[in-house]
Amino acid sequence: MLNSKSVRGWLSALGVSLATAFLVVSPFFWRGNASGHDIAFHASSWLDVAGQWKEGIVFPRWCEWANNGFGEPRFIFYPPLSWMLGAALGLVAPWNAVPGIFVVLAQTLAGSSMFVLGRRFFSAGPALFGAACYAANPYALLLVYMRSDFAEELACALLPLLLLAAVQLCGLLENHWRSGTRVTAIFALLFAGVWLCNAPAGVVASYSLTLLLVYAALAEKSLAPLWRGAGGLALGFALAGFYLFPAAYEQPWVNIGQALSSGLQPVQNFLYTATADPEHNAFNWIASSVAVLLVGMTAIVALLARRTTENPENEKVARRIWPVMVMLGAAATILMLRPRAVDGHPCCAIRLLCPSDVYAASRGRDLDWCGDPRGCGNGHFPGSQSLVGFRRYSRAAGCDCEWPGLRRNRRIRSGQGRSHRSARKSAAGRNPARKRGASAGPKGGNSHSEVDRRGERT
């Protein structure tokens, strides 16, 4: 049972978070809605879903009015929570007020969830201060006013609760949720919720939680945190499976690579990356400055808090949680730095992350399959059949490297390679010198490489 003091604390947290959220959107009242990068995408999704609901389609899959009325399977691939919440708000409020209401709800949830996390370590006052800071943190303002990424904003609101559930699940913090089964269920629900809000946030959460579980296993010198965490992650993926499995299964049916056009590729969005687009450079400079500001402020405040700890109980908890926060912060900082090019091409650094590439290279099959003795220089990668997945990943990362073997196999699969071979055979039949393998001079016709180039042009 909650006593009156606890109820007042929760109501205070809700009030502070709500007031901070209203301060975040206060310019909306006289300046109108912020028109960020993704406002048209989200607003059109909300309108489309609300219209389909009125027609009796409970869970839309096809966005009818996208691409000038030709449509697209947007709702198969985009996580559903944000566009369902936006459409639901549009049914009960004017459409011009929906973006502001969405931001208020998301930031109120963000502040409240941070209060829940902070209350485990601090008294009510510092926890309220942390809730207000998180509800109006610089990155949230960037999301609201420059990106209008409502899905990521909603996912960020769940992250404090997810972190709290994770540290309790792996045993780094005492479980106050009564049973291990209950904390596993809460962890799985929150993890699935992040994935159903925003897929990139789900990827970041997955890697971060895996790193956290590995650290917990090393700190506890036991595999129990890994088993509990693996169970929670598996349950979370299962809960989000109604979105993840169709999206993964139907991905080959669409040109998913167009989602990463110039300016949206990961390789173009590291700290202070310069491209040929001045508008992108300006936004990247602002986002990078926000990231550096947050990292610097966090480091300074963390050091000050570390030195002023007086409560022995809090000191004991801090010794267990402190390495976790340092590890996650360091990992996030490192991932924002642009990797240096290896052997003349930035993709070579990513290549080291592909286990199949290492395996294929160790078997000595790369040069045979690729047919390019130059190796990794000049942008040409030695390949293997196991590197098709890395080819797709490198495209998503903005590194469309030239692999002669893949190009040749693609022509063969499409039927062009067969016609090229038959053309070469017929040419060799008409030219005895070429049939015997002699080199054709200027009057002897095209060479093998010239036939290949002509075939590519056709």
Closest CA to 64 of 76, 74, 54, 79: 74
Digit-coded pLDDT (tens) for 108-162 = 999 999 999 998 888 889 899 999 999 999 999 999 999 999 999 999 999 999 9
pLDDT at 270: 84
Q: Say what the pTM is.
A: 0.71
CB of 81 closer than 8 Å to CB of 196: yes
pLDDT at 315: 61
Q: Where are the domains of the chain?
A: 4-251+260-335, 347-409
CB atoms within 10 A of CB 33: 18
Predicted confidence (pLDDT) at residue 398 exceeds the cutoff of 70? no
Instruction: Give the span between the Cα atoms of 9 and 123, in whole angstroms.
Output: 10
**Long-range contacts formed by 202-208: CB under 8 A, 24+ apart:** 202/79, 202/155, 202/240, 205/159, 205/162, 206/233, 207/331, 208/328, 208/331
Count of alpha carbons within 13 angstroms of residue 259, beta-carbon side: 14
Digit-coded pLDDT (tens) for 261-300 = 777 777 788 888 888 888 889 999 999 999 888 888 888 8
Digit-coded pLDDT (tens) for 171-229 = 888 877 777 889 999 999 999 999 999 999 999 999 999 999 998 898 888 899 999 99
Instruction: Give the span between the Cα atoms of 255 and 335, in whole angstroms.
Output: 27
pLDDT at 67: 87
pLDDT at 40: 94
Predicted confidence (pLDDT) at residue 379 exceeds the cutoff of 90? no
Range of weakest confidence among 141-145, 310-314, 354-358: 354-358
CB of 17 closer than 8 Å to CB of 132: yes
Sign of CA dihedral 258, 261, 267, 270: negative
Give me the mean pLDDT over the 401-429 stretch: 44
3-state secondary structure the chain: CCCHHHHHHHHHHHHHHHHHHHHHHCCHHHHCCCCCCCHHHHHHHHHHHHHHHHCCCCCCCCECCCCCCCCECHHHHCCHHHHHHHHHHHHHCCHHHHHHHHHHHHHHHHHHHHHHHHHCCCCHHHHHHHHHHHHCCHHHHHHHHHHCCHHHHHHHHHHHHHHHHHHHHCCCCCCCCCCHHHHHHHHHHHHHHHHHHCHHHHHHHHHHHHHHHHHHHHHHCCCHHHHHHHHHHHHHHHHCHHHHHHHHHCHHHCCHHHHCCCCCCHHHCCCCCCCCCHHHHHHHHHHHHHHHHHHHHHHHHHHHHHHCCCCHHHHHHHHHHHHHHHHHHHHHHHHCCCCCCECCECHHHHHCCCHHHHHHHHCCCHHHHHCCCCCCHHHECCCCHHHHHHHHHHHHCCCCCECHHHHHHHHHHCCHHHHHHHHHHHHHHHCHHHHCCCCCCCCCCCCHHHHHHHHHHC
Burial 301-323 (b: 16+ CB within 10 A, else e): eeeeeeeeeeeeeeeebbebbee
